[in-house]
A and B are shown apart, each in its own frame.
Chain A
Amino acid sequence: MSNEMNNPHQEITHPQAVAIPVPTGHETQVAEGHGIHHHEPFITKYIFSQDHKMISKQFLITGIIWATIGGFFSVLFRLQLGFPNDHFMWLHTIFGNWAPNGQFTPEAYYGLVTMHGTIMLFFVLTAGMSGTFANLLIPLQLGARDMASPFMNMLSYWIFFIASVVMFSSLFVSTGPFSGGWTAYPPLSALKDASPGSGTGGDLWLIAVLLFFISQIFAGINYISTILNMRTKGMSMSRMPLTIWGLLVTAILGLLSFPVVITGLVLLFFDKHLGTSFYLNSIYISGHALPNVGGSPILYQHLFWFMGHPEVYIVILPAMGIASEVIAINCRKPIFGYRGMVTAFFAICILAFLVWAHHMFVTGMNPYLGAFFVLLTLLIAVPSAIKVFNWIGTMWKGNIHLSVPCLFVIGFVSAFISGGLTGIWMANSAIDLDIHDTYFIIAHFHLVMGVASILGMCAGVYHWYPKMFGRKMNNTLGYIHFWITLVGAYLIFWPMHYEGLAGMPRRYYDYAAWHTFAPFEGVNTFISVVAIVVFIAQILFLFNFFYSIFKGRKETDPNPWKANTLEWTTPIHPGHGNWIGEIPEVYRWPYDYSKNGIDFIPQNVPLGPEEEIEVAKENQPQPV
């Protein structure tokens, strides 16, 4: 280990390999990236790399692999929901005991559901999303040569990687993976007797999730310090692109909420293995009464949702940042209401910590406490609404280039509106009494943070792909991917609102025995078929992504989107250190599109004489 730590260190102190800006011809050539291939051994360039760009790619590819697994799991349990009476013998061939007779057992089904939630939320949309875009964009857009601590950055990826390995290994435990839902409510998650998945599978789940949180805290410390400390000259906070604002608020949310859930999970671990009664109280299970008294399962829910609610913003805020950036570039217009956007980020940051108990309206909580959370939950709709209005405002009278990333952003806004508005329903505790834990909730959060952030993430991947790999993705495949995904997402989740209003509970294996819910069997079949089609359509993306890394058309334009931000001032293949020579200085905000008739003015272009006068006018004291 110490060797691997040492290698990058040597590499960094080696002036030729790092593009330390000494303006001599030789170094310049090295920094172009040609030299690095020869200088850097494979292991420090591709595996234990401390270059933020490589770490970003590592996060992205790990995230894509997890997204494929998580998405596949959803197809599998949709098979059960859509075709509860059919037997698919190939399931038995692949999954063995999970699916005797070609049908998943309830335990396997709940394992799949739990894994789908955990993987998608934590590994794909938190690590995959923040990990990719924070690592790629923070140094590049702020004009830094790397993260504050490249070593810790590398560490955060590898801890996440270990978490991934542990989680993956839990799929092969004989008692099955953890199957108590991604929220892992005790006592179900604490007692082996309550669910076989809460045995070894649950332990591995717990370890994996703990490691994941630690890795994200490490990453978050790095993101925040980099954003605060490493901005290039002239890059004041108010000149930062909105992507960075989004990532900053995301990192703050994670930094302050993950420790809390870590304590919650530690207490859970104690209850599981050391006989404590933090969450256990008066339990009679499998024929005997447990000695534990005095605990409160609600304590866990508070600790969990104190992370759980900020977590959904951790998932969506980077997508919001990406959307703001991409939409401004493609509309050739400044983002509408930059200050409003930043204010909204901060409002969300603060309110996100004050709404967690709206997940617990049906736990018999004190109604006055509930009222407090109703008010704040409904108020958090205000910053979200501001954002939506601003995105639509940005499109108004633009010259919209409907590129693949731009379409994904339009899809993102659409899904965010659809899912966000239903949030207003369940934010009201009285309505929540009706629709809590039904398919209405599934439809709501999948649209607002699942589909929306996946679309936002895709927008980011298509947009920054040339920066990451120096090649282009296939546009036509991108368009096909987008349209199938958007249409499919609506076809999947729209009917679920009706199921939820009919009271159909989530996390049911089979509805056949229920007089109330059985009429929805046809709808479920329809949803499952669409889900399978959408999943298969993602293969197009996977192909496009991996094929283009090696065979995509080479990018020849250092600024293919005609964007203002600093990442496009680097060479097409930036070396470790990003810029050849001096880091550019910043003179303006990143959204000078179509200003004074000029299509775009990058941030590193000094103010023109006209603009100087404008600035001087603004700085003059206003007559009261």
Chain B
Amino acid sequence: MSDSAIAVTSAAQLHEHPQVEFIDKETNTHGWWRGGVSPFNVSYGKLMMWIFLLSDTFTFGAFLVSYGSSRFSEPFWPDADVAFDSFFGIHATLPLLSVSLMTFILIMSSVTMVLAVHAGHLKKKKEVAKWLIYTIVGGLLFLGCQAFEWVDLITTKGVTITHNMLGPVINGHPTPGPSTFGAFFFLITGFHGCHVFSGVILNFIILMNVVKGTYERRGHYEMVEKVGLYWHFVDLVWVYIFTCFYLF
């Protein structure tokens, strides 16, 4: 992976586009789109990350729209306050407490990522490493919380991808609810979890490179910025997932 990162960056030597402001001689205006310069004043690497994230937005978007269409065609849908009411194995009625904590952790990890990027701009190697470690810990904590939540849902609530015991209560007896509740929940949070996990791995790889001094030698910490973009995206997506599954 680190090899590939080097290979990609060194390919930049094929393109000699200076990152400078470009003034069009003919019209004496800023000629960002006239070629010879990136119109957004970003490196191709960052641009590619942006474009990838745009594409990934559609993946998550399609998942959430499918979820919505499935949910609104069902006469009954489990109440989030009931489904997510335990807190790390404590079966107290603490609706949404654990997910709020998870969300807080993830948002804080975004903050630390911002600080890592900032430190990168200032070329402070140790600072970058420190904030990256915090970010990685945040990501891992988030995944841990999610694991707790999954286990709780499966073992105590009886919700799996094929079954759902959180159905309507008829004459005092709980009945099975729509199975798509669990299926979509596990699929989408799982898919997001995969993104977080890959983010942690990416963060770890760039942390290694930071420690090794790869970016210091390269003269810039753009790699941290690129992974930072990805990390913020994963956070942002979580906000939507949180809204769709827990708040509505």
Contact = CB atoms under 8 A, between A and B. Distances in A.
> Do A and B touch each other in the complex, judged by CB within 8 A?
yes
Contacts of B161: 270, 274-276
Interface stretch (A23-31, A59-67, A143-151): A143-151
Contacts of A278: 66, 70, 180, 183-184
Contacts of B162: 274-277, 291
Interface residues of A, number: 71
A256 interface: yes
Interface string A233-263: 1111101000000000000000111111011
B59 interface: yes
Interface stretch (B27-35, B111-119, B203-211): B27-35
Contacts of A286: none
Given A9-B7, A236-B34, A296 B70 contact: yes
A597 B43 CA distance: 42
Contacts, number: 178
Contact of A264 (B16, B26, B62, B73): B62
* Chain A CB within 10 A, most for which of B13, B48, B178: B48
B59 A262 contact: yes
B147 interface: no
B7 A8 contact: yes
* Chain A CB within 10 A, most for which of B11, B34, B44, B73: B11
Interface in B157-191: 161-162, 178-180, 183-184, 187
Contacts of B63: 263
B62 A229 contact: no
A553 to B, nearest CB: 32
A144 B34 contact: no
**Which interface class (under 10, 10 to 19, 20 to 34, 35 or more) fits B?**
35 or more
A84 interface: no
A135 interface: no
Contacts of A379: none
Interface in B1-16: 3-4, 6-8, 10-11, 13-16
Interface in B34-55: 34-40, 42-45, 47-48, 51-52, 54-55
Contacts of B47: 148, 225, 228-229
A152 interface: yes
B56 interface: yes
A259 B34 contact: no
B55 A217 contact: yes
Nearest to A145: B14
B98 to A, nearest CB: 25
B15 A230 contact: yes
* Chain A CB within 10 A, most for which of B33, B54, B55: B55
Interface stretch (A12-20, A90-98, A118-126, A419-427): A12-20
Nearest to B59: A259
A222 B48 contact: yes
Contact of A233 (B13, B35, B59, B70): B35
A85 interface: no
Contacts of A585: 36
Contacts of A260: 58-59, 61-62
A577 to B, nearest CB: 6
5 contacts: A2-B4, A235-B36, A255-B55, A270-B183, A292-B179
Lowest 6 CB-CB distances: which A-B pairs, in order?
A: A233-B36, A235-B35, A9-B7, A148-B44, A259-B59, A231-B35
Given A5-B3, A8-B7, A294-B74, 20 more contacts: A5-B4, A12-B7, A21-B16, A142-B35, A146-B11, A148-B15, A149-B11, A149-B44, A152-B8, A225-B44, A225-B47, A228-B38, A258-B55, A259-B55, A260-B61, A260-B62, A264-B62, A266-B187, A303-B62, A619-B27
Interface of B: 3-4, 6-8, 10-11, 13-17, 26-27, 31, 33-40, 42-45, 47-48, 51-52, 54-56, 58-59, 61-63, 66, 69-70, 73-74, 161-162, 178-180, 183-184, 187
